[in-house]
Amino acid sequence: MTGELRLVHIGGPTLLIEVDGWRLLVDPTFDPPGRRYGFGFGTSSVKLTGPAIGVDDLPPIDVVLLSHDHHADNLDDAGRRLLPEVPRVVSTRAAARRLRMPNVTGLDPWSTTEICDPDRPTLRVTATPCRHGPAGSRPIVGDVVGFVVEPTAGTGAIWITGDTVKIPALAEVPRRFTIDTMIMHLGRVRFPLTGPLRYSMDGRDALELVRTVRPRRAVPVHYEGWSHFSEPAADLQHVLDAADQQLRERVVWLTPGVPTRV
């Protein structure tokens, strides 16, 4: 796999990344659909779609990149049971305190850890800033991070935005890194209880971010499968497909369960 990048979208934010001989799993969610999960302070969401690949059908995973542990659409019960079986888990410092597992590394935004193995190229993982809601919401919504993964074997850097609204700190990422592939968490999360307040990016935010970052490939994920998404997949696709051709050609749509080289 050296020099190649392969993605498998499992559902929601859950993505299998194969790069330079490593298998990385982002935000493991493998519960069946139909259940309502609480998100705190009276908010909740129903899982509408199950995973395209079952947890028992996964290949061996080397690293889990967990943007946050306290929302079930990013870590559900089946995903939580998987964590002790994985050699490394990288997440927020708050998640590391709550999970209390020796294999979990907690990072603050802009801090870095390395994934090492004598038989594979080293991966450098840097946490990136997120704000999972409107200004001032961090005490309520909790800490979230994205991740920049830098392979050392020639494959370009991968940025997973994590669950975030569009904030100025996101523009710092392309100043610090040359991003080859950007994984965008979208869907425009809203809850009836909080009305128009948004807790993740929508298609227009994605377009602005692609224009700012100018990655070779931009991959939308985490925009379907839950009732708290307020921008339907068809509307998101319409927004991104209506962009100018140069930008539109950067966007790669993944078919759940189907390995895609990007």
Report how many domains make up the chain: 1
Q: In whole angstroms, what is the distance from residue 188 CA to residue 228 CA?
A: 8
* Amino acid 1: pLDDT: 37
Instruction: Report which of 129, 173, 124 is spatially closest to residue 24, judged by C-alpha positions.
Output: 124
**Which domain does 76 fall in, by range?**
5-261
* Amino acid 68: pLDDT: 98
pLDDT tops 80 at residue 153: no
* CATH number of the domain enclosing 170: 3.60.15.10
* Amino acid 22: pLDDT: 96
3-class state of residue 121 by DSSP:
strand
What angle do helix axes 203-213 and 233-241 make, rounded to 10 degrees?
A: 40
Segment 204-242, tens digit of pLDDT: 999 999 999 999 999 999 999 999 999 999 999 999 999
Segment 165-216, tens digit of pLDDT: 999 999 999 999 999 999 999 999 999 999 999 999 999 999 999 999 999 9
Segment 107-129, tens digit of pLDDT: 999 999 999 999 999 999 999 99
Whole-model pTM: value is 0.96
Q: Please provide residue 225's backbone torsions phi and psi, each rounded to the nearest 5 degrees.
A: 95, 0
